[in-house]
Amino acid sequence: MKLFFGEILPTVKIDEDEQQHIVKVLRMRANEEITLTDGKGNAATGNLIFEGKKITLGVTELLKAIPPFTPRLHIAIAPTKNMDRTEFFVEKATELGVSEITFLLTEKSERRNLNFERIQKQAVAASKQSLRFHFPQINDLVKLPNFIKTINPANTFIAHCEEAFDRVNLKEIPLSENTTFLIGPEGDFSLNEIKMLAEAGVHAVSLGSQRLRTETAGIFIAAWNYGKMI
């Protein structure tokens, strides 16, 4: 399957950037078959039609309301100082089916700005590569105290390295339809932040005996959830 991005409803339309990619990079020809998705669970399969500089799709099959991945995983993560590592996390977490990513501003955050448009494009590219019809929701930077106000503590977990606090093993977490994980920056969450989250009812979790980098922890959680998908 060759998967591309575009509009499905109310009309089928190939995204303009995708049209350029089809012509200039892939050098595809008329009548070649592709599948188009809007990233919202809808897809259309058909043959390419070239009309001058414009490319349309002769639809042969239309699929609506394709079920999303379950269980749903939301990873809230502090971006790394080196953006390449954050972008690597976004790519791999998307391939592993993460439903939502939120970037956190914490006390120890070394990066306080993002090229949000670039990250969104990478999520779209990774979704197409892994044949996802539901693209992950990507949320821009938000301060940790503000993010806490939006969560359900019953299915939210914080991964940190402070051994002085009680932490459950990842294997002990019960299966839930919606789970949120918080992952801190390179210097971890501060003690004040860990206490604040504990007071809010957020459970602490251990990711094992080894200390993982921020992006590695995020990918590890995504892979853990991927193993539970149906």
The answer to whether 45 and 60 are in contact (CB under 8 A) is yes
Instruction: Write out pLDDT tens, residues 163-197.
Output: 888 899 888 898 789 999 999 999 999 999 999 99
All structural domains of the chain, each given as residue ranges with its CATH number in brackets, are 3-63 (2.40.240.20), 72-226 (3.40.1280.10)
Tokens of 9: 């409803």
Name the band, by pLDDT with cuts 50, 70 and 90, for residue 209.
confident
Distance separating alpha carbons of residues 29 and 26, to the nearest angstrom: 9
Distance separating alpha carbons of residues 96 and 4, to the nearest angstrom: 19
The answer to whether 90 and 98 are in contact (CB under 8 A) is no
Cα 105 to Cα 63, 136, 194, 196, distances in angstroms: 39, 20, 14, 15
Instruction: Write out pLDDT tens, residues 14-25.
Output: 999 999 999 999
Sign of CA dihedral 224, 152, 132, 212: negative
Amino acid at 134: H
Distance separating alpha carbons of residues 225 and 123, to the nearest angstrom: 18
The answer to whether 147 and 107 are in contact (CB under 8 A) is no
pLDDT above 90 covers a percentage of the chain that reads 88
The answer to whether 186 and 79 are in contact (CB under 8 A) is no
Instruction: Write out pLDDT tens, residues 28-85.
Output: 999 999 999 999 999 999 999 999 889 999 999 999 999 999 999 999 999 999 999 9
Strand 13-14 vs strand 33-37: parallel, antiparallel, or unpaired?
A: unpaired
Q: pLDDT averaged over the chain?
A: 95
Largest CA distance in the chain: 67
30, β-bridge pairs? none
Instruction: Write out pLDDT tens, residues 7-16.
Output: 998 999 999 9
Residues ≥6 apart with Cβ < 8 Å to 165: 194, 198, 204
